[in-house]
Amino acid sequence: MSEALLSFEAVAFGYSRQRQVFTDLNYDLEKGSLAVLLGPNGAGKTTLLYMALGWLLPTAGTVCLSRRPLQSYTRGELGRRISLVPQAEHLPYTYSVLEYVQFGRAPHLTLVEMPGQKDHRVAREALARAGISALADAPMDKLSSGERQLAVVARALAQEPEILLLDEPTAHLDLGNQYRLLQTLKELNRAGVTILMTTHDPQIALAISTQTVLVEGNGKVRVGTAEQIITAETLTHLYHLPAGAIEIRPNRSGIWLRQL
Amino acid sequence: MNDSTLLESKEIAATKHSWIWFALTSGLVLIFLVSLFLGRYPQAGFVQPGQLRENELARLLVFNVRLPRLLTALLLGMVMASAGTVFQMIFANPLVEPGFLGVSQGAAFGAALGIVFLGASSVAVQGLAIIFAFIGLGFSYLLARRMHIGDWLLRLVLAGIAVSALFSAGVGIIKFMADPMRQLPEITFWMLGGLASITWTKFLSILPACLVGLAIMLIFRWRLNLLALEETTAFSLGAAPRRERLLLMTAAVLATAAIISVAGIVSWVGLIMPHIARGLFGSDTRRSLPAAMLLGGIFAILCDDLARLLIIGEIPLGILTSLLGALIFVILMARRRQAVPA
């Protein structure tokens, strides 16, 4: 049995009394796993991710990191252990990629420190791991959306996190960029980074997850391997499709919408 | 690009930057010294070193009138430009000025009150200006907390607009009640901004607040980058966005209010200098904030030189900073199209 790095214990969360997203959420993110949160729009995937970050606080229950409640960590401690790749991050000003990636060093610095030699080196390594070393001096606003997403991943890696959270990282990317990003994530996971990401594309869960978490919008989640979770029945139900709309190829080699 | 060309391009950028640093710093020192000896007494032009020894009036003029005024202009430029940078980063908006959260209009209201109801003594005017600058800020802050639309920053902007409008209406009422021969011109001139009445006492009275504000902005300048990011991103980077914003904003407003209390409303310095600094050094506030400080100092001293030298009387400083600031703004905007293709 592997060790639970991040655990949700009887967590409830709602944006209002009428809109309860989770009522009894129990889930362990195991160390070294690559977990994919799968579910339709609005089911609560991002909510779960932001609770894992400590940004949203549960209305009941606790979220623990290494068995200690998230709130008991200082801001800096959390920043050194958990990092976030948000969906479509907006940058009000233009930075060079390297300047931007160095922001990831913030939790390792005191309030009055600025990135130094070591931080510079870590930022370069993060660029290399994301496969965009050549873009170090490019301005962020000149990057393609694929390159940009990789730069955001590099910024998150510069935090040297144990857990990497990603919110719909493949949205708005073409097939090639999706593939390169997923490949990067898989390599990071093999190198020991625990990953929790959201997606609404079952294909992605099949392609890279070691664990699939189904967020159905009924206040709970279902956890298993992609093969256990992703069946034609589940998907039909999950996305409110008519019976027979989805066809899953043998050996889970592909999911197809029935030809219309 | 391979590693060696990458290194080269970095070195070229670094050399270019250190050149600009050198030019800015020495430019500031030079302009400061020239301005100190430049004036209309004893003759139009420069004071001769000999005159400083022999002519007591010339000595007094240089050291008791021009020097404190010049130092205040320097402080004004540095404070407004760095506070402008802080505000533009915190609000992730390149169009905000340090006085917009009710601070400038609050100060104007306080000053007008002092002029009309407290006999226009300079202590009363300055004191009320600074008190109402903070009332304006506090009011904006409280109002933003009671609002229920948009995110926190949008609420602050809206509250700032509302509070500024309230105070400017208040200034209108006081103007309407003021004695049109004595008090009205004084309110008008105060609102146009100027450093003609600066003495050592006034300069020294605002120096501590300005230095504390400047020091905090300088020390925390790299963190400003994080505060310009989306709130969740800043949070994920281990920052406490609300607390850190409050600290930097308080420092910026403290210094700004102090300056406004003696100089009146001097606009555009805090808006334009951060833009030029970003254009020269990039957006990273590690460099752009100190650059804005230097540029602000140079710009304010030059404008104040023009204010006192251009005609025999005195042109209000705020008019010149607006005129030149707006011109620079227009030029920058027209050039920007080439630099940043859509």
Q: What pLDDT score was predicted for residue B119?
A: 85
Q: Provide mean pLDDT across the span A160-174.
A: 94
Q: Which of A84, A89, A95 sits opposite B282 (nearest CB)?
A: A95
Say whether residue B6 is in contact with chain A using an 8 A CB cutoff: yes
CA distance B14 to A180: 33
* Residue B139 within any structural domain of the chain: yes
Contact (CB<8Å) A79/B240: no
Neighbours of B165 (CB within 10 A): 12
Contacts of B236 (CB under 8 A, 6+ apart): A53, A55, A79, A82, A83, A84, A86, A156, A165
Contact (CB<8Å) B235/A53: yes
Q: Provide mean pLDDT across the span B262-283.
A: 94
Contact (CB<8Å) B94/A134: no
Q: Provide mean pLDDT across the span B282-300.
A: 97
Say whether residue A106 is in contact with chain B using an 8 A CB cutoff: yes
SS3 call for A173:
coil
What chain A holds in terms of domains, given with CATH numbers, is 4-229 (3.40.50.300), 230-260 (no CATH)
**Which of B219, B236, B281 to probe by mutation at the A interface, max A CB count within 10 Å?**
B236
Question: Which secondary-structure segment (H or E) carries A72?
Answer: none
Say whether residue B286 is in contact with chain A using an 8 A CB cutoff: yes
Tokens of B115: 């002029």
- Exposure on the CB side of residue A90, measured as CA atoms within 13 A: 7
For chain B, how many structural domains are there in total?
Answer: 1
List the single residue in A with minimal CA-CA distance to B216.
A112
Neighbours of B142 (CB within 10 A): 11
* Residue B66 within any structural domain of the chain: yes
Dihedral over alpha carbons A173, A175, A177, A179 (to 10 degrees)? 130
User: Which of A185-199, A206-220, B41-55 has maximum average pLDDT?
Assistant: A185-199
Q: What pLDDT score was predicted for residue B338?
A: 44
* Residue B62 within any structural domain of the chain: yes
Q: What pLDDT score was predicted for residue B2?
A: 46
Spell out which residues of chain B touch residue A158, defining contact as CB-CB under 8 Å.
none
CA distance A238 to A42: 12
Contact (CB<8Å) B283/A94: yes
Q: Which of B1, B226, B236 sits opposite A134 (nearest CB)?
A: B1
* Residue B118 within any structural domain of the chain: yes
Tokens of B71: 């130092």
Tokens of A32: 């070294």
Spell out which residues of chain A touch residue B89, defining contact as CB-CB under 8 Å.
93
Tokens of B288: 């752009």
pLDDT digits (tens, 9 = 90+) for B152-208: 888 989 999 999 999 999 999 999 999 999 999 999 999 999 999 999 999 999 999
Strand ranges, E, within B79-128: none
Side chain identity at A199, as an amino acid letter? Answer: T
Prediction ipTM score: 0.94
Contact (CB<8Å) B226/A106: yes
Spell out which residues of chain A touch residue B93, defining contact as CB-CB under 8 Å.
92
* Residue B194 within any structural domain of the chain: yes
* Residue B8 within any structural domain of the chain: no
The closest alpha carbon to A98, from A61, A70, A135, belongs to A135
* Residue B138 within any structural domain of the chain: yes
* pLDDT band of A41, cuts 50, 70, 90: confident
CA distance B275 to A13: 43
* Residue B5 within any structural domain of the chain: no
Q: How many residues does chain B have?
A: 342
**CATH code for the domain of B177:** 1.10.3470.10
pTM for this prediction: 0.92
| Residue A3 DSSP symbol | P
Lowest mean pLDDT segment, chosen from A186-195, B49-58, B316-325: B49-58
Residue A233 or B33, more confident: B33
CA distance B288 to B278: 5
Q: Which domain holds residue B240?
A: 44-337
Percent of chain B with pLDDT over 70: 94
Residue B276 near residue B331 (C-beta atoms within 8 A): no
CA distance B173 to B157: 24
Q: Provide mean pLDDT across the span A5-12.
A: 96
Give one DSSP letter per residue of B181-243, joined into a string. TTHHHHHHHHHH---TT--HHHHHHHHHHHHHHHHHHHHTHHHHHHHTS-HHHHHHTT--HHH
Q: What pLDDT score was predicted for residue B308?
A: 93
pLDDT digits (tens, 9 = 90+) for B31-50: 999 999 998 888 888 888 88
